[in-house]
Amino acid sequence: MTEIAVHSNDTLAISSEQTEFTGKQVAALKQIGVDKATEGDLMVFFHQCQRTGLDPFARQIYMIGRNSKEWDPQTRKESWTTKYTIQTGIDGFRLIARRAVNNARGTFGYEDTLWCGEDGQWTDVWLRSGPPSAAKVTVVRDGSRYPAVALMSEYVGTDKNGNATKMWREKGALMLAKCAEALALRKAFPQDLSGLYTSDEMQQANVITEDGAPASRQQPSRQRSIAETLGESVTVDVESLVKAIEKAETKDALRELWTQTATLPAQEKDDIQALIMGRIQGMSEPESDGASLPEPEQLPLDAEPVDAETVEEQVAS
């Protein structure tokens, strides 16, 4: 496990022997905005802090609450709930990647960043007056290439009127390149970065209106599970599920736990599935039955790539 950064304040320092946040640490998290998180949310956040080695009290990693609509199988209606996304900056991604490579004694680098306009012609420097339509970053790890493309239409940060924010208007090429880099790093380092997002990637999710409702430019809502469609009340104890994942000793056990994530809310589901994938990929010992590490398509049918997910929420007021 990655050594977590040690905060200068001993009261808030996270020791390697800890399995969850202490009362004082939870109180500190509430002071910096994590005031409505459930115990399950905090357990997932604690796991990400230990896994990445980033310090939440130094603002190297943080949880952002956003309002999202979730289907209630009992009332058969959608209602607003606060969901948390675990985020860091692009520098945090680079630090995590560098630590992983150093620990594995591997190699890590980048090919030239590329941008293109609507004509689809790639260039390694963007000199046009308008913003690029796409950016492409390729991470090279141990000789393997991990390219990723970010589209301006999917990542541009906007205000409540749908206009690009000042940063995206003035530095669109830079902002889009950072989004593409985060996508590429997540592909190259899935065990270290799955379930983690950069603040640049999440700016589209920060759009709010004066009445607290979502802005008009929304992504389609998530597909309901079979249980929700039938109106069945299905609940999952997230805290117990996280503990079971951490204690699981085989890939088969983790695959079985994966099936229990089907009825979780979208963002919570992403985080739990990322935790399971990290455990599966971290198991170096072969299974007793000879099963190999599954390709993504071998996972349950409701699984989607973490780096392809579009977060549909807005900042919680």
Q: Output the average pLDDT for the chain.
A: 75
Q: Residue 236 in contact with residue 263, Cβ under 8 Å?
A: yes
Residue 120 CB contacts under 8 Å (≥ 6 apart), including other chains: none
Domain boundaries, the chain: 90-189
Measured between alpha carbons, how far is 194 from 174 in angstroms, rounded to an integer? 23
Query: Percentage of residues in the chain with pLDDT exceeding 90?
Result: 26
CB 56 within 8 A of CB 68: no
Q: Which position has the token pair 């469609």?
A: 229
- Sequence-distant (≥ 6) Cβ neighbours of residue 90 within 8 angstroms: 178, 181, 182, 198, 200
Query: Taking a C-beta distance cutoff of 8 angstroms, is the pair 159, 165 a contact?
Result: yes
pLDDT of residue 236: 59
**pLDDT digits over 138-167, tens only?**
999 999 999 999 999 999 988 878 888 889
How far apart are alpha carbons 297 and 22 in whole angstroms? 39
- Can you give the pLDDT at residue 316? 41
| pLDDT tens, position by position, 162-201 | 888 889 999 999 999 999 999 999 999 998 888 788 888 8
More confident residue, 279 or 103: 103
Question: Is residue 220 pLDDT above 50, yes or no?
Answer: no
How far apart (Å, rounded) are the C-alpha atoms in residues 32 and 5? 18
| Cα 215 from Cα 205, distance rounded (Å) | 9
136 touches 180 (CB < 8 A): yes
3-state DSSP call for residue 116? strand
Per DSSP, the three-state class of 148 is strand
Report whether 317 contacts 212 (CB < 8 A): yes
Tens-digit pLDDT profile for residues 246-288: 888 888 788 778 877 776 766 677 778 778 877 777 775 444 4
Q: Which amino acid is at 218?
A: Q
Q: Is 308 helix (H, G, I), strand (E, B) or coil?
A: helix
Is residue 213 predicted with pLDDT exceeding 70?
no
Q: For the residues 49-66, what does the mean pLDDT come to?
A: 82
Token couple for 301: 């049918």
pTM for this prediction:
0.55
